[in-house]
Amino acid sequence: MLSLNCSAFILARRWEPVNISRKFDALVVCGARGPRPRFPRVWKSRKRIGTISKSQKLVDCVKGLSNVKEEVYGALDSFIAWELEFPLIVVKKALRTLEIQKEWKRIIQVIKWMLSKGQGKTMGSYYQLLNALAEDGRLEEAEELWNKIFSENLESLPRIFFIKMISIYYDKGMNEKMFEVFADMEELGVQPDQAIVRMVGDVFQKMGMLDKYDKLKKKYPPTSWEYRYIKGKRIRIRVKGQHSLDEEADDCSLAHSTD
């Protein structure tokens, strides 16, 4: 039979654990060529320009120009020359900044340039242009824009346009045109808010049309709540100071009746 003969030296030797080092050098060594150099990642260290900084640059560019149409349009064209698509978000943010700064002429120039490019043809842009024209005192252009929007969007025109035109005519004292807009509003079935009712009722009282004022008040009674859209959400808000306004209106009507 086969037998295994082990030497006494092997049996007498102890088992010793072998320590394996787990530390690795961060330096990558190529075979026979030495360490490989590490270069910084340049494509990640560059600062990216967002829409906010671009809109601020657009605002600074526009505010430093004159009122010449060719100069303004040329500067705006050069601003978007290297853009693959029209930077609509940048322009909208720039318009919002100009609106906060009350730069009405610049708003008119930028919106007209944007519309000439076939971009931004929305109700928000048209309302912003209408508001800027009214604030800048260009009533004829505002009326021309209103007639264009009203004829093209007869049954889908938002109520905010009617409110704006009635407030413009109310501030200018153009009562006949205000009544025309209010009549168109009723004919189209657009529900007026309390601001419109107050302005029209105030004009009725000043002109001595108390019977029409009473009919208006009965048709559109004051409400204690109203709905507003804030950040795309419909929120119910209590109307402030409604009772005091109603009491003043009642006092005025009583004074006219006693006279």
DSSP alpha helix (H) spans, the chain: 8-12, 42-45, 51-63, 69-79, 88-100, 104-116, 123-135, 139-152, 159-172, 175-187, 194-206, 210-219, 242-258
pLDDT value of residue 100: 93
State how far the Cα of 249 lies from the Cα of 220, in Å rounded to an integer.
Answer: 14
**Which helix (DSSP H) or strand (DSSP E) does residue 156 occupy?**
none
The CA-atom distances, in angstroms, between 61 and each of 49, 66, 90, 136 are: 16, 11, 13, 21
List per-residue pLDDT tens for the chain, 259 residues long: 444 454 444 444 455 555 545 544 444 454 556 666 665 555 554 555 678 888 888 898 888 888 888 898 999 999 888 888 899 999 999 999 999 999 999 999 999 999 999 998 999 999 999 999 999 989 999 999 999 999 988 888 888 999 999 999 999 889 999 999 999 998 988 888 888 899 999 999 998 888 998 999 888 888 777 777 787 788 888 876 554 444 444 444 444 444 4
pLDDT value of residue 17: 55
pLDDT value of residue 238: 82
pLDDT value of residue 42: 52
* Tokens representing residue 170 in the block: 């109310």
pLDDT value of residue 222: 81
pLDDT value of residue 153: 87
Q: Where are the domains of the chain?
A: 51-121
* Tokens representing residue 79 in the block: 């601003």
pLDDT value of residue 16: 57
The CA-atom distances, in angstroms, between 254 and each of 2, 197, 202, 243, 251 are: 133, 19, 14, 16, 5
State how far the Cα of 70 lies from the Cα of 76, in Å rounded to an integer.
Answer: 10
Name the nearest CA neighbour of 217 among 250, 168, 175. Answer: 250
Check if the beta carbon of residue 203 is closer than 8 Å to that of residue 170. Answer: yes
The CA-atom distances, in angstroms, between 108 and each of 60, 99, 188 are: 16, 10, 29
pTM: 0.69
* Tokens representing residue 237 in the block: 């808000």
